[in-house]
Amino acid sequence: MQRSDIEWTEATWNPVTGCVEVSPGCAHCYAKTFAERFRGVPGHPYERGFDLQLRPERLEQPLRWKQPKSIFVNSMSDLFHKDVPEDYIREVFEVMRVADHHRFQVLTKRSERLIELAPSLPWPRNVWMGVSVENQRFVHRIDHLRAVPAAIRFLSCEPLLGALDLDLQGIDWVIAGGESGPGARAMNPDWICGVRDQCQRSEVPFFFKQWGAHNAEGRRVGKKRAGRVLEGHTWNRMPEVARV
């Protein structure tokens, strides 16, 4: 098990690694930056850098992790990438179904393929499904997510790159935050407050992950110093129960 420093999960599981950019939120991908550091290093798991790779030897890992965990699936890839075979995606979902002592959090930017494959996948209550929505151009991903029969549907508005007007009907959780790392783009406080306010009006749990590299005043101070306090509060709300 790979323990995670990501604030909204506890561990990561990567039966697929590698990806390609699909929208502006990918521009400064932490996973790509990490993997490419090891391109060409013989024997390293990322010897091929961020090239897409199936990792079938990792498929059964969650079955061996006895302590229940919240697990982010494919923190180093996107399960619904076009080059991940449908049969392999079904294998991943079958493992999640069997490992029902865990909670699996699956996140994609490829909502078109998600909605295409959703009818043929098992959707046990321990699988949470989310889509990334970084600016208004990509709110259509939420419509695709709404059609998926997941017990919990969530949004990741990170990195938040613009103001969002959200329809939160059928959405159970919203994560939002700014960008960190080299080249990080600053997040306007009005954008994040707007997301929070819409969540409060719709009674949807809101989780503020981070300001990112820039603080609330727009100064680049680094992720740690910028912190994750928004207007005097730390917002850590999670979904309470899956819908019946």
Distance between CA atoms of 126 and 243, rounded to whole angstroms? 11
* Helical segments of 6-78, H only: 30-36, 61-64
Please give the model's pTM, rounded to 2 decimal places: 0.95
Q: Which CATH number fits domain 2-234: 1.10.10, 3.20.20, 1.10.1760, 3.40.50?
A: 3.20.20
Residue type, 13: W
Could you tell me the mean pLDDT of each successive run of 10 residues in the chain, 244 residues long? 86 98 95 96 96 98 96 98 98 98 98 98 97 98 98 98 98 97 95 98 98 96 96 94 44
- Domain segments of the chain as ranges: 2-234
Whether the Cβ atoms of residue 200 and residue 207 lie closer than 8 Å to each other: no
* Pair type for strands 53-54 and 16-17: antiparallel
Q: Which two tokens stand for residue 237?
A: 């709300």
* Helical segments of the chain, H only: 30-36, 61-64, 86-98, 111-117, 140-146, 189-202, 223-226
pLDDT for residue 241: 61
pLDDT for residue 4: 84
Distance between CA atoms of 13 and 91, rounded to whole angstroms? 14
CA atoms within 13 A on the CB side of 178: 34
